[in-house]
Structure 1
Amino acid sequence: MITHLAITTVWTTDQDRSLKFFTEKLGFDVISDVTMGEGGMRWVTVGVPGKPELEMALMRTDGSGLDPESAEALTKLVDKGVLGAGAFHTDDCRRTYEELKAKGVEFLQEPAERPYGVEAIFRDDSGNWYSLNQRRDELDLSKGWD
């Protein structure tokens, strides 16, 4: 029986740069950083502090065992910034937005009310975009919508 998602992939063209982005700007922990096999593939995973049940594998677009044509196509998509890599939950979207923006995180959308809560959208250092969400049931609706 499947119990939960354990590892998800984030495509990057530079693992060192992405590792720095996730640890220094988003405050994630390094869970693993090892070189594997004869080809020297580097396995790097990061995760939200205190939440080791989900790791994000920072996988190189040109070193993940893909054939050259697929690696080139994937690199172009990542460079173009068209891949959405997931959604992160926060207990205060507006506060987290301000904190991350002050650290230099590029936002595509400021916090905005949605039927499900408050959402902001940002990019990582490779161009992947993420939704930053505060669920509606966690909002103080006595203040009304902005």
Structure 2
Amino acid sequence: MTQGIGVVGLYVHDQDEALTFYVEKLGFRVHTDVRNGDYRWLTVQHPEQPSFQLGLFKPQAPLVDAATAQSLEAAVAKGAMPPLVLIVDDCQAAYKQYRVRGVEFTQEPVDRYGSVDASFRDPFGNGWKMIQAR
């Protein structure tokens, strides 16, 4: 039996804005974009990792109720969610490329633990740690 994780979701308050950020600024590509009434299943994937999808989900029914949706949006905006990790070949080069595209970093590249890492957030507060592959 084969098992694995196919989709990890992020909460965003505007899926169109999230799509622009992840596709135009980070270079991901759209995998799935379908609607069922007010609900939209939107996933993107890194071009070098086609078996894994990142879900860009609005906290709403059928995922959560209205009160939970408000709490989740507030928590994400405060940076309370654990960061995701993006592995890159060259952290300094990726940092420069993403800054040109408008990504706002919370930490410039730092050499530590035998590697280089930097941090940024998406427009909704979801944190990312960008780490140079060893």
Gaps of 5+ in 1: 138-146
In the TM superposition, residue 2 of structure 1 has moved relative to its aligned partner by 5.1
Distance 1:101 1:63, change over 3 A: farther
Cα-to-partner distance string for 1:112-134 (whole Å, 9 max, x where unaligned): 01215110000111111100001
Gaps of 5+ in 2: none
User: Normalization by structure 2: what TM-score?
Assistant: 0.92
Per the alignment, residue 10 of structure 2 pairs with: 10
In the TM superposition, residue 77 of structure 1 has moved relative to its aligned partner by 0.7
Q: C-alpha separation between the residues in 2 aligned to 1:12 and 1:132?
A: 20
Q: Which runs of 4+ in 1 moved over 3 A?
A: none
| Partner amino acid, structure 2, of 1:24 | E
Per the alignment, residue 94 of structure 1 pairs with: 92
**Most deviating of 111-120 and 123-132:** 111-120
Computed over aligned residues only, the root mean square deviation of the Cα atoms, in angstroms, reads: 1.6
Q: Which has more radius of gyration? A: 1
In the TM superposition, residue 60 of structure 1 has moved relative to its aligned partner by 0.3
In the TM superposition, residue 70 of structure 1 has moved relative to its aligned partner by 1.3
In the alignment, is residue 70 of structure 1 matched against residue 71 of structure 2? Answer: no
Per the alignment, residue 43 of structure 1 pairs with: 41
Number of aligned pairs? 134
Distance 1:40 1:62, change over 3 A: closer
Per the alignment, residue 27 of structure 1 pairs with: 27
Q: C-alpha separation between the residues in 1 aligned to 2:61 and 2:99?
A: 31
| Partner amino acid, structure 2, of 1:29 | R
Distance 1:66 1:86, change over 3 A: same
